[in-house]
Amino acid sequence: MERAKHEKDLARDLQAIYAEPDGELPDLSTLGKPPRAKLHRILIGVLVALSVVSSAAWAGFFLITRGWGGSGQVLAASVEGPESVRAGEEVFFTVRYKDDGRVPIAQLEFELNLPDSFHVTSAVPAPDEGMTWRVGSLTPGSDGAVSVGGYFRSEVPSAQTLQAAFTYRPANFSSDFRDFKSLAVHVDDTTLKLAVNGPAKALAGDQVQYVLEALNAGTLPLERVRLIADLPKDFRFASSDPAPAAPGVPAWDLPAIAPGATAAVTLKGSYTATADGTQAVTVRGAFVEEDRELAQAAASANTDMLGGAMDFHLVVNGGTDDLSLDPGALLRLSLDYGNHGAQVVNDVSFRLTAEGADAKPLPVDWEAATGVAEGVRVKNVLVWDKTSVPELAALAPGAEGVIDVSVPLLSAIDPSKIGDRLILTLTGTVQKVGSVAGPRTISATPIKVSVNSDFAATAEARYFTPDGEPVGQGPLPPKAGQTTTYRVYWTLSNRLHPLEGLRMSTTLPAHAGWIDRKDAQQGTLAYDSVTRTASWTIPAWPADQQTVQAWFDVAVVPDASDAGSFLKLTNAAGAEAADTVTKSRLSRVISDLTSELPTDADAKGKGVVVD
């Protein structure tokens, strides 16, 4: 009985502790107990509440930042104005802003970022600081605007951008927001209008006059205006009114030009005997800002050249353009002349003048010149007249002639004592044409001759140094089937002008191998195993460093078929560099190197391959 009563009491206690709401007991065969349904409901409720709060927060953020209806934003702003303008012309731009939401804006300010080329003439209302306006607060629906006037001093054409950077804070928000508005403006015209007035036709040698005009077609004064004349190669500029900003340079800095006013420059000169066809004189106008020329406009005038009775030209080495030659090169001068008129031309003379760029002697060898004997030379001036060339006493219509002179340049030039350039000017004088007496002098277009730097490259192969120390290895003479190494020396020299971009290179024959023993006093010496090219590069070389050297070793293994002959060590080499003064690309070629070793006295007679 007692046992039955105890089991009944135990069952009742377990029922009270573990029974589910429906009165059923769970499976107590395992130790785990699932959570109660009530706890599930509590947890789910908490998650739902947190989700609602989060959604409400994000919705509030969206509504505050994007507005409550209307345009869908708190701040509506813009930058307005012309999208196409003329340089030098006053224009106006407007920055507009509006509270386009349902929330007040507690703080608003903006900064107007303008191109450096835009010069402000007015701002209404005035900025609070620099180009910043502090607007303050705005109620929903209220707005405002700022008007800024000014003009562009920029190149034509060019693209410019104006930008307004806004910073604002909605009244019920604790953070600032940023917004940017911009306007692209194209400067595609200018208030500076140019014109060139000159003769429609001209004779070589006659003085001609051109008038360059600059008109201010705007409503603001134009300041710091520069005119630049692009003159034909065969036009010799003599003078101008006003004088140019720098002597001999056809450019003028004009005083301020009032609205509607015109500034003018009168230039004078003459065309040389080389001029023919149509010649164009062009003027370019620019605004000057901190030594920068901002191009504005250009204008041209054409002049047709008339054929005169006397026609002559100076040709140097086959052309009439400026040229550069290597030291020791030959100057071939040809003076061709002819009477293309209908009257006899009497008493003709020619004068060829060679002038240096400084007071140093010219880099020419007059003593070795040919053709000079036909004229008279006084220092650096050659003269031909009826005494030395009898045909010049009277040139009948259609008569022609040529005078040739060859003058070698000096092969060695010491830059401290000898000049490195000269200018050749040919002048012709006629004393009488038909029955019209009176001297008439015409010049040909001067030709400038520049002497390139005396850049030189040499290569040699050696087995012994000049002091007799061996730098090669292996049998000498080279023996079939055995390896012999030689040292290849490259030497570059230069002293006249600075050089840049120097490169010397060669390729190795199939039977020669690179063994990576090398050195260079300057620059980089490298080998490309794919192309079998050894190259030495030097980025820049000052004129005061006269000689540099590099070397590398090559190994050769001759075979039986090479017996009885010299073995090629390298193929022909090439060296090149840019002359920074004459702008010429200098090139040198060096013959291939063999085992003959002609400069190695200790290896002399030991270059032929033996069995």
Could you tell me the end-to-end alpha-carbon distance of the chain, in angstroms, rounded to an integer? 130
Q: Is 17 within a domain?
A: no
35 within a domain of the structure (yes/no): no
Would 67 be classed as within a structural domain? no
Compute the mean pLDDT over every residue in the chain, rounded to the nearest whole number.
90
Last residue of a domain, one of 141, 163, 189: 189
Give the pLDDT of residue 475: 96
Beta strands in 357-444 (DSSP E): 376-378, 381-384, 394-395, 400-408, 421-433, 436-443
Residue 253, domain member (yes or no): yes
Q: What is the CATH number of the domain that holds 129?
A: 2.60.40.1530
291 and 368 share a domain?
no
In a domain, 41, yes or no: no
Tell me, yes or no, whether 480 and 599 share the same domain: yes
244 and 141 belong to one structural domain = no
Q: Burial of 591 by CB count in 10 Å (0-12 exposed, 13-18 middle, 19+ buried)?
A: exposed
Q: For residues 317 and 330, state if they share a domain.
A: yes
Tell whether 212 and 280 lie within a shared domain. yes
Residue 37 falls within a domain, yes or no?
no
Do 416 and 499 lie in one domain? The reply is no
416 and 287, same structural domain?
no
Going by pLDDT thresholds of 50, 70 and 90, the confidence category of residue 348 is very high
Q: What is the percent of the chain with per-residue pLDDT over 70, rounded to a whole number?
A: 88
Task: Tell me if 154 sits within 8 A of 183, measured CB to CB.
Answer: no
pLDDT grade for 233, boundaries at 50, 70 and 90: very high
Q: Of 88-92, 362-366, 369-373, 473-477, which gets the smallest average pLDDT?
A: 369-373
Boundaries of domain holding 341: 310-451
* Contact present, 106 and 171 (Cβ < 8 Å): yes
Residue 196 included in any domain: yes
pLDDT digits (tens, 9 = 90+) for 400-415: 999 999 999 999 999 8
Backbone φ, ψ for residue 43 (5° rounding):
-65, -45
Distance CA 155, CA 293 (A): 8
At 199, is the pLDDT very low, low, confident or very high (cuts 50, 70, 90)?
very high
What's the pTM value of the predicted model, to 2 decimals? 0.70
The per-residue pLDDT for range 537-565, each reduced to its tens digit, is: 999 999 878 899 999 999 999 999 999 99
Q: Do 436 and 348 share a structural domain?
A: yes
Reply yes or no on whether the pLDDT at 45 is more than 70.
Answer: no
Other beta carbons less than 10 A from residue 554's beta carbon: 22
- How sure is the predictor about 71, in pLDDT bands with cuts at 50, 70 and 90? very low
The pLDDT of residue 16: 52
Task: Report the CATH number that the domain containing residue 291 is assigned in CATH.
Answer: 2.60.40.10
Residue that terminates a domain, selected from 401, 431, 451: 451
CB neighbour burial string for 6-31, b if at least 16 within 10 angstroms, e if fewer = eeeeeeeeeeeeeeeeeeeeeeeeee
Give 26's pLDDT tier (boundaries 50, 70, 90).
Answer: low
- Judged against a pLDDT cut of 90, whether residue 49 lies above it is answered with no
Do 300 and 345 reside in the same domain of the chain? Answer: no
Domains held by the chain: number: 4
Burial label, 603 (beta-carbon count in 10 A; 0-12, 13-18, 19+): buried
Give the mean model confidence (pLDDT) for residues 476-505.
96
What are the tens digits of pLDDT across the range 254-308? 999 999 999 999 999 999 988 889 999 999 999 999 989 999 999 999 999 987 7
In which order are the strands placed within the sheet that holds 573-579? 524-528, 533-541, 499-507, 573-579, 585-590
Q: Is the pLDDT of residue 65 over 90?
A: no
The pLDDT of residue 435 is 84
CB 26, CB 33: distance < 8 Å:
yes
pLDDT at 6 over 60: no
Q: Do 572 and 475 fall into the same domain?
A: yes
CATH number for the domain that contains residue 532: 2.60.40.740
Q: Is residue 514 part of a domain?
A: yes
Domain identity same for 254 and 382: no
CA distance linking residue 168 with residue 172, whole number of Å:
12
Pair 467, 437 in one domain: no
| End-of-domain residue from the set 277, 305, 333 | 305
Q: Which residue is it, tokens 């000159």?
A: 198
